[in-house]
Structure 1
Amino acid sequence: MISRHPRTRHTTALRRVTAAALGAALLLSVSACSAAVDDEAAAPAADQAFTTVTEGTLTCAMSGEYRPFNFYDESNELVGFDVDICNGIAEELGLEAEPVTGAFNSLIAGLTSDRYDAIIGSMSSTEERLAQVDFTESYYATGAELFVATDSSITDVADLKDATVGVALGTTFEEYARTLEGVSDVTTFQADIDALRDLEAGRVDAVITQGFMGRYLAKNADLKVDAVGDVLFPDVAAIPVNKENPELLDAINAALVTMHEDGTYEAISIDWFGEDIS
């Protein structure tokens, strides 16, 4: 449980300070005539002011059950692509990263209650979520796919009449599954790997999840399941931030741009997936 803290104001968003800005600050201390230049150089930093729930820290929420994006490894350390993105953004903002976990369907409530600064947990923007929080620009894009047991006769969502479909609780995959005509039941799971294991065991007839992640999980757990049919819909992940903190939203967007430009994002992506998934 994370205790609630009053938000702490930060007056600079980015960790990099240019040599010109440092030089201007030095000149200010020795010559009044440089004041106008200093004011101009200092203005952007003031514009980038933002708040965090804990001073000097960027608290990033995720489920911890979405391997390889965020999960606990064999030594019970929280790791994954999302964790490294949290670390990279925090570094750009001059903050310490604090990745924390909670049930996926509770993360928005935790964010709006000021328990977290942002959700860096592979969350997609939906109309319902946008009514409660703001989202950054996307930080990766894949697609939802249908998974079935290797020996299944199901080849497409059109074959799901009277079928039981497994999905992770509180996800866009659950929302989509509940719109499918003819589906007998939608069974929810806390983690996609549990849904895929039940799929192999025959306890559900199909699973809808992110295609890239589903294949990764199936391969690493040696499950006899396959993706079938076309991509069902785009799965675009972005970072929710409180509506009352637009400065932090802007700072995170700027940090993501910098991470793309300097190669940090690509390095993180290749480390986890062998390719750039942006």
Structure 2
Amino acid sequence: MKRLTVLEQKPVTAFIATSSIALLVLTGCSGDAGTEPDSANAATGDVAEDCTPLHEFPTLEDGVLNVAAMNAAPKFHALSDSGPFEGIDATLITEFAEENCLDVLFKPMTGAAAQLDLREGKSDLFGGLHIKTAERGEVFGQAEGYVIYDALGITSASEDSFDTIESMDGATVGVLSGSFFAETLKDALGEENIEEYQSDTNAFEDLQAGRIDAVANQSMMSFNLSNDAEGYETNIIDEDPNHPELTALLEINWPHTHGVPEFTAAIDDYYTRAKEDGTVERVLEENGVTEEAADFYINGR
């Protein structure tokens, strides 16, 4: 079992999970960040005329990167329906857009709604640091590389302290609906023992109320829940040969429009440089991730 102090002990502002599509433009290269769009279909905020993109790839709207973003701190955090937008991906995606002379149009929503939005061609990219899988690769574009690693995190009351899959036998476990872990945990623990939620905050509220025994999620989101809650802890589960899919080290990326190789190449190039030049490490630190945990997220086990 991996025990890490993952987030610095400082308050993390509560975020609002919403299925409504809120709009805010963050301008690349230059211009005023936070300029509101004229309508739900048009973005304002001018990219500098002399801005030269590092990469060129088609987007739904010329000069705009539409991002359906899963509202879940610390990866992406919308304080209200119209921002401000904070968190790891809010920073990284904005920097990626800037170097490609694009405005960012963030649309915070639940994970299920964001996936549908991208699948239906209403967004260019799915923000919120998501697990790369072969199944998702058939529907969405996926980078060859990764921006960070992650692994399964189990949050529970400290006296329970689930540290293996077997230790959760008979427990009622909350998971995000449609998440990578939902079906695999049903297979491992029995469908009757899994409760699905639209947001991790709702799951954690049920955990605190005693209606479920644990919450299973990507560890970064799990630590965000338990960090400031006295009497609760999160464990990263070690790799288990009996449950390889559940306990493997996971590559995290940004799902994006399928079949646009130049878009994928631009994301891969950004991932490589952002890790090599310390950008990812800096952004993790800015969002309260400890040095020990950042090493795990960047370099793995």
- Partner residue in 1 for 2:259: 244
- Partner residue in 2 for 1:204: 212
Per-residue CA deviations over 1:186-222 (Å, capped at 9, x if unaligned) read 11112222212221221101211122332232123x2
1:194 equivalent among 196, 202, 227? 202
Tell me the distance in 2 between the aligned counterparts of 1:96 and 1:138.
23
- Partner residue in 1 for 2:139: 132
Identity of aligned residues (%): 23
1:197 alignment partner, SS class: helix
Greater shift, 75-84 or 170-179, is seen at 75-84
Tell me the distance in 2 between the aligned counterparts of 1:250 and 1:155.
38
Tell me the distance in 2 between the aligned counterparts of 1:247 and 1:182.
42
Q: TM-score, normalised by structure 1?
A: 0.75
Q: Is the 8 A contact 1:49 1:247 kept in 2?
A: yes
Q: TM-score, normalised by structure 2?
A: 0.70
2:248 alignment partner, SS class: strand
Q: Is the 8 A contact 1:260 1:266 kept in 2?
A: yes
- Partner residue in 2 for 1:267: 282
Q: Which runs of 5+ in 1 are unaligned?
A: 6-12, 17-47
Q: What is the root-mean-square deviation of aligned Cα atoms in Å?
A: 2.7
> Shift of residue 76 of structure 1?
4.7
Which residue identity is paired with 1:72? A
- Partner residue in 1 for 2:76: 70
Which residue identity is paired with 2:182? E
Answer 1 or 2: which has greater helix percent. 1
Per-residue CA deviations over 1:52-83 (Å, capped at 9, x if unaligned) read 1111111222111x111112237952211111
- Partner residue in 2 for 1:91: 98
- Partner residue in 2 for 1:15: 53
Q: Which runs of 4+ in 1 moved over 4 A?
A: 1-5
Which residue identity is paired with 1:15? P
2:114 equivalent among 101, 107, 114? 107
Per-residue CA deviations over 1:88-109 (Å, capped at 9, x if unaligned) read 1001112112222232123233
Tell me the distance in 2 between the aligned counterparts of 1:139 and 1:201.
35
Q: Is the 8 A contact 2:65 2:97 kept in 1?
A: yes
Q: Is the 8 A contact 1:62 1:102 kept in 2?
A: yes
- Partner residue in 2 for 1:45: none
Q: Is the 8 A contact 2:176 2:199 kept in 1?
A: yes
Q: Is the 8 A contact 1:4 1:53 kept in 2?
A: no
Per-residue CA deviations over 1:11-38 (Å, capped at 9, x if unaligned) read xx9635xxxxxxxxxxxxxxxxxxxxxx
Tell me the distance in 2 between the aligned counterparts of 1:229 and 1:124.
16
Q: Is the 8 A contact 2:151 2:236 kept in 1?
A: no
Tell me the distance in 2 between the aligned counterparts of 1:116 and 1:223.
39
2:252 alignment partner, SS class: strand
Answer 1 or 2: which has greater strand percent. 1
Tell me the distance in 2 between the aligned counterparts of 1:223 and 1:192.
17
2:95 alignment partner, SS class: helix
Q: Kindly name which structure, 1 or 2, has the bigger radius of gyration based on alpha carbons.
A: 1
Tell me the distance in 2 between the aligned counterparts of 1:212 and 1:112.
25
Q: Which runs of 5+ in 2 are unaligned?
A: 1-20, 24-39, 43-50, 239-246
Which residue identity is paired with 1:67? A
Alignment of 1:224 with 2:239, yes or no, is no
> Shift of residue 181 of structure 1?
3.6
